[in-house]
């Protein structure tokens, strides 16, 4: 064909498009290969310098840290000691020199002996300060890299310096020896690339048929003139979904701008259906699609038939005679879209009132001018709706929306009762929808309330649809839609749309009702399990806060597994407990109640914190086994944590243990806040590890802060950051009471809508006054019992508790006598005046007494029975030293002023 246009076929002239492309590709390949070789050479030199630096540092550090280097430096003749080993290391490592010098940079070693004793040339100051320094210098043997490292003694002080150096040429010799191979490889790549370019050019020449740019331009102009002259739209799309060509008619029909070639068809702003058809490439014949106010007949064929390129060609014809059909199709699509949008905008929350509001708002925005939703009272309360007809029950207006307020419609909160004699009431009893296309005709709807009906007609209300809300065969209420602003009345098609709309909303309302019922049950359960108030005790001044998680942010809002407790213990002591059960809802609340009850039961045994947690861990493991055995969901209570602390106001001692829980905060009377280092234990139910305790001495007016992880952990905040924020909120306020402390901590750490439960317990420690505690050491002699009785009588007289003296003497006589008779070690009696009168007798015996009923002929066995009858409470607790304490409590009678 080139000869046909009178051109010689000279390869050098290269006037064809394929030839020009070949020359351009060859030039690009040559430039790329040259650039690659240059980059390799530059990179090899940089690698050589880096390798020299690394090797010199490694050799110098190795020699400096070698055994004997430090001793040789401190020897009388360091050169004699170090020169042989330095030369051996130099030859073995391949460096050019290893120089050992003193702190004045005087050489002890050198490959050239005449250099020994002379000053080292280089920067040694950083090495004298304990750092490694490397530098590139121009030496007598050429460019080299030398490193200087310190030699440190046993005390960490620098005692000498070691320098190692290597010339860059010595390292780069290996790389440069490979340059011929690299250049040969580059030449081979160049030849292969040029061969591939020639093959590509040959294929291009065959496809363009040897045409030059001028001939191809002329052919394109002819093709373009014909393409844009036809009155049928033509669109060509590539295989990857990009628009290759659109003629003038296609641009007019589709509303395309001028510069759209090459853009993806899904980004042209086309109708989604047309864009999907063009991108799919599927075959189509005279498919009718609506584009704006036009209906287009679309045909589409693939272009890859018979070996063509991938893609599709589409023809478009304007069929205006199908305008009526287009209107109906648009209406059907609009209704389908309305129902689709209703599914996404109605029922977004599990709240009955909110769902009713969403239904009325959606209807007035898309379907009607005014909308009302009336719901049965039991549905609003979360109760199960009855099967009786809704017309005879009270329906409360739960939602009302519209443009104007004074229209005659019943306000929100009004109770609606539909008469069975009206069309709406009768249809409601049957569960059927009602369409009244002309309210002004007064077809019976006005009988409900004639005065309001007149006002509504005067306000322009002209058509109505009333649809019962039915779910699971029960009517929950009724939704009514009104038109007053729009002139067109509701039609039968609108009635079907309204029924579908209300049916979807009814399901959401029923789900919300069931959620409300479960939520109310769970909240009632949890409130019955949490503490109702603080018990009477004199050990701490306490305050607490419990904040449930917000609804919709995890589980059932308001119901979780966090809990706390304050448990009075014998001896005026008190136990502070805080725990967390992972999860929300009924299961978490029930589990929390079981654990709280178990802690109360275990506390009556007066166990130390570690033993109590061990028993609690065993209980949780047993609960998990039972739930697995009975075929439950297996959720168990894994993940429960607990912190248990006992505070003694008489001694100020606080003993704490934790099972997987966060550490408490102790605030000193001066305001310093620190985390108590309580040994960590595994969460409850895992077993296998004992729990450990921490004993701390808390001064009076210290504050002990216990909390759950919901206080410091949040998805927008790291837990370490939350703990530090808590510590900062507690520090610096020594005089702040517990109530204000709780408020300050929550204000800083808890967001407006907490995603997890928060339990916070703050206790300010109190101490028993010294005059309210009396102690005596009792020798193991029966005659000492009388002396104890007299001492106790005098102390009770000082306390103005003479009325209790006789009972107290009897109790102590029995307890001390038993201790002298059966126990070992020192015996101690302690008397505490608190809310009750507490008597304690301690000894070193671990044998616990047991109450029994003595027979009539028994000589003994009645002492402990007598104690139990005289005291309000009594019991035994064990001490850390292997002994025990038997305690009793007596109720103090209120003081009565005698006659003057």
Select, from the ranges 329-333, 694-698, 855-859, the one with the highest average predicted confidence (pLDDT). 694-698
pLDDT at 29: 73
Reported as a single tens digit per residue, the pLDDT across 34-76 is 777 777 777 777 777 788 788 888 888 888 888 888 888 888 8
Asked if residue 237 has pLDDT above 50, the reply is yes
What does the pLDDT average to over 394-404?
Answer: 84
pLDDT of residue 780: 85
Q: What is the pLDDT of residues 115-142, one digit of tens each?
A: 888 888 888 888 888 888 888 887 777 7
The lowest-confidence range among 282-286, 305-309, 465-469, 829-833 is 305-309
pLDDT of 724 reads: 93
Residue 857 predicted with pLDDT over 60: no
Contact 169, 145 (CB under 8 A): no
The band of 863, judged by pLDDT with boundaries at 50, 70 and 90, is low
Q: What is the pLDDT of residues 145-157, one digit of tens each?
A: 888 889 888 787 8
Q: Of 870, 711, 863, which is closest to residue 805 (Cα–Cα)?
A: 870
Q: How far apart are CA 664 and CA 707, in angstroms?
A: 7
Q: What is the mean pLDDT of the chain?
A: 80
Phi, psi for residue 191 in degrees, rounded to 5 = -65, -45
Per-residue pLDDT tens over the stretch 166-204: 887 777 655 556 667 666 776 777 777 777 777 776 766
According to the model, what pLDDT value does residue 213 have? 66
Q: Which tokens is 562 given?
A: 């966090």
Q: 312 near 303, Cβ under 8 Å? A: yes
Q: Which of 128, 105, 126, 127 is nearest to 117 (CA)?
A: 105
DSSP state of 711: G
More confidently predicted of 338 and 101: 101
Q: What is the pTM of this model?
A: 0.54
**First-to-final CA distance of the chain:** 142
Q: How confident is the model at residue 707 (pLDDT cuts 50, 70, 90)?
A: very high
Higher pLDDT, 374 or 852: 374
| Helix residue spans in 230-284 (DSSP H) | 248-254, 272-280
Summarised one tens digit per residue, pLDDT across range 525-559 is 777 777 777 888 889 999 999 887 764 444 445 56
227: left (phi > 0), else alpha (psi -120 to 50), else beta? alpha
More confident residue, 56 or 644: 644
| 693: CB partners within 8 A, 6+ apart | 608, 609, 610, 655, 656, 657, 678, 679
**Residue 900 pLDDT grade (very low, low, confident, very high; cuts 50, 70, 90):** very low
d(CA 584, CA 754): 13
Give the pairing of strands 574-584 and 641-648.
antiparallel
| Closest C-alpha among 304, 309, 306, 315 to residue 278 | 315
Mean pLDDT within 311-338: 70
Q: Over range 733-739, report the average pLDDT.
A: 91
4-8, 164-168, 354-358, 871-875: which is most confident: 354-358
User: How far is the C-alpha of 114 from the C-alpha of 109, rounded, in Å?
Assistant: 10
The pLDDT of residue 728 is 93
Instruction: Report yes or no: 280 and 300 within 8 Å, Cβ to Cβ.
Output: no
The 3-state DSSP class for residue 481 equals: strand
**Residue among 888, 877, 811 nearest 846 (CA):** 877
267 vs 361, higher pLDDT: 361
How big is the CA angle at 350 (ends 347 and 353), to the nearest 5 degrees? Answer: 75
State yes or no: pLDDT of 670 exceeds 80: yes
pLDDT tens by residue, 207-219 = 666 666 666 676 6
The label of the residue with tokens 């007949």 reads 297
The pLDDT, as a whole number, for residue 92 is 80
pLDDT (mean) for 86-111:
85
* 706 bridge partner residues: 761
Please give the residue that has the higher pLDDT: either 43 or 160: 160
pLDDT confidence of residue 279: 84
Please state the φ and ψ torsions of residue 347, each to the nearest 5 degrees. Answer: 85, 30
At 212 the pLDDT is 62
Distances, alpha carbon 532 to alpha carbons 535, 563, 753, in Å = 9, 12, 24
* pLDDT tens-place string over residues 610-643: 999 999 999 888 887 776 665 555 555 567 899 9
Q: How confident is the model at residue 730 (pLDDT cuts 50, 70, 90)?
A: very high
164, containing H or E segment: strand 158-167
Query: CA-to-CA distance for 448 and 432, rounded, in angstroms?
Result: 18
CA distances from 328 to 148, 260, 338, 365, 811 (A): 90, 32, 15, 22, 99
At 648 the pLDDT is: 93
Measured distance CA(417)–CA(395) in Å, rounded = 6
Q: How confident is the model at residue 8 (pLDDT cuts 50, 70, 90)?
A: very low
Q: Which among 577, 570, 565, 579 has a CA at the least distance from the CA of 609?
A: 577
Pairing assessment for the beta strands 758-765 and 284-291 based on DSSP bridges: unpaired
What is the per-residue pLDDT for 860?
Answer: 47
Identify the bridge partners of residue 659 per DSSP, sorted by sequence position: 642
pLDDT greater than 50 at residue 726: yes
Mean pLDDT along residues 571-579: 93
Percent share of the chain, pLDDT over 90: 15
């Amino acid at each position: 064909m080139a000869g046909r246009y009178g051109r010689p076929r000279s390869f050098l002239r290269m006037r064809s498009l394929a030839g020009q492309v070949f020359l351009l590709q060859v030039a690009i390949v040559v430039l790329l290969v040259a650039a690659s070789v240059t980059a390799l050479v530059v990179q090899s030199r940089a690698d050589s310098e880096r390798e020299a630096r690394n090797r010199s540092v490694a050799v110098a550090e190795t020699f400096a840290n070698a055994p004997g280097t430090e001793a040789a430096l401190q020897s009388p003749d360091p050169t004699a000691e170090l020169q042989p080993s330095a030369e051996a290391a130099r030859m073995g490592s391949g460096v050019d020199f290893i120089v050992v010098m003193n702190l004045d940079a005087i050489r002890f070693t050198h490959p050239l002996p005449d250099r020994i004793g002379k000053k080292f040339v280089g920067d040694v100051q950083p090495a004298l300060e304990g750092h490694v320094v490397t530098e590139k210098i121009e030496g007598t043997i050429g460019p080299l890299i030398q490193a200087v490292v310190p030699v440190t003694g046993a005390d960490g002080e620098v005692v000498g310096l070691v320098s190692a150096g290597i010339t860059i040429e010595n390292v780069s010799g290996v790389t440069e020896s490979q340059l011929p191979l690299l250049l040969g490889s580059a030449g081979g790549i160049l030849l292969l690339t040029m061969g591939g370019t020639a093959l590509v050019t040959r294929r291009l020449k065959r496809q363009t048929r040897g045409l030059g740019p001028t001939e191809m331009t002329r052919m394109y102009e002819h093709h373009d003139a014909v393409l844009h002259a036809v009155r049928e739209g033509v669109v060509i799309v590539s295989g990857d979904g990009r628009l290759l060509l659109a003629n003038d008619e296609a641009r007019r029909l589709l509303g395309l701008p001028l510069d759209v070639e090459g853009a993806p068809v899904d980004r042209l702003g086309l109708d989604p259906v047309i864009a999907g058809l063009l991108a799919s490439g599927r075959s189509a014949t005279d498919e009718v699609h609506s584009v704006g106010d036009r209906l287009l007949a679309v045909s589409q064929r693939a272009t890859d038939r018979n070996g063509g390129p991938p893609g599709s060609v589409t023809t478009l014809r304007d069929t205006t005679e199908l305008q009526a059909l287009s209107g109906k199709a648009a209406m059907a699509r609009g209704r389908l879209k309305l129902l689709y949008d209703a599914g996404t905008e109605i029922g977004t929350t599990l709240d009955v009132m909110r769902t009713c509001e969403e239904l009325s708002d959606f209807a007035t925005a898309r379907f009607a001018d005014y909308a009302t939703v009336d719901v049965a009272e039991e549905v609003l309360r979360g109760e199960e709706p009855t099967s009786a007809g809704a017309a005879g029950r009270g329906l409360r207006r739960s939602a009302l929306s519209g443009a104007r307020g004074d229209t005659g419609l019943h306000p929100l909160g009004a109770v609606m009762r539909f008469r069975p004699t009206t069309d709406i009431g009768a249809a409601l009893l049957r569960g059927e929808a009602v369409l009244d296309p002309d309210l002004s005709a007064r077809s019976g709807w006005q009988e409900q309330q004639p005065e309001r009906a007149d006002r509504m007609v005067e306000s322009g209300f002209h058509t109505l649809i009333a649809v019962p809300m039915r779910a699971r065969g029960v009517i929950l209420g009724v939704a009514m839609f009104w038109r007053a602003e729009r002139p067109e009345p509701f039609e039968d098609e609108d009635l079907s749309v309204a029924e579908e709309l209300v049916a979807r909303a009814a399901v959401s309302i029923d789900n919300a009702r069931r959620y409300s019922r479960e939520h109310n049950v769970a909240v009632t359960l949890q409130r019955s399990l949490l503490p109702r108030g603080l018990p009477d005790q004199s050990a701490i001044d306490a305050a607490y806060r419990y904040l449930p998680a917000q609804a919709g942010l995890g589980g059932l809002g308001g119901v979780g597994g966090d809990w706390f407790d304050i448990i009075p213990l014998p001896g005026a002591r008190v136990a502070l407990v805080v725990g967390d059960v992972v999860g929300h809802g009924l299961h978490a609340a029930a589990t929390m109640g079981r654990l709280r009850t178990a802690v109360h039961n275990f506390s009556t045994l007066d166990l130390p914190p570690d033993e109590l947690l061990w028993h609690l861990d065993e209980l949780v493991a047993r609960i998990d086994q039972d739930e697995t055995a009975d075929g439950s969901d297996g959720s168990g209570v894994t993940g429960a944590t607990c912190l248990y602390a006992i505070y003694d106001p008489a001694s100020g001692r606080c003993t704490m243990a934790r099972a997987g829980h966060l550490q408490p905060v102790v605030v000193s009377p001066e305001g310093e806040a620190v985390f108590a280092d309580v040994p960590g234990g595994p969460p409850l139910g895992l077993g296998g590890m004992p729990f450990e305790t921490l004993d701390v001495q808390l001064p009076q007016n210290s504050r002990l802060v216990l909390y759950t992880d919901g206080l410091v952990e949040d998805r927008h905040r790291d837990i370490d950051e939350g703990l530090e924020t808590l510590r900062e909120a507690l520090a610096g306020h020594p005089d702040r009471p517990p109530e204000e402390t709780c408020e300050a901590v929550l204000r800083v750490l808890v967001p407006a809508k907490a995603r997890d439960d928060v339990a916070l317990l703050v206790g300010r420690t109190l101490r028993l006054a010294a005059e309210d505690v009396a102690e005596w050491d009792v020798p193991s002699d029966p005659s000492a019992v009388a002396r104890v009785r007299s001492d106790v009588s005098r102390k009770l007289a000082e306390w103005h508790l003479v009325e209790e003296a006789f009972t107290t003497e009897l109790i102590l006589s029995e307890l001390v006598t038993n201790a002298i008779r059966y126990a070992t070690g020192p015996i101690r009696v302690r008397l505490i005046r608190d809310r009750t009168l507490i008597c304690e007798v301690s000894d070193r015996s671990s044998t616990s007494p047991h109450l029994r009923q003595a027979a009539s002929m028994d000589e003994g066995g009645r002492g402990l029975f007598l104690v139990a009858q005289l005291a309000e409470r009594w019991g035994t607790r064990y001490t850390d030293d292997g002994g025990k304490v038997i305690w009793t409590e007596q109720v103090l009678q209120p003081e009565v002023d005698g006659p003057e």
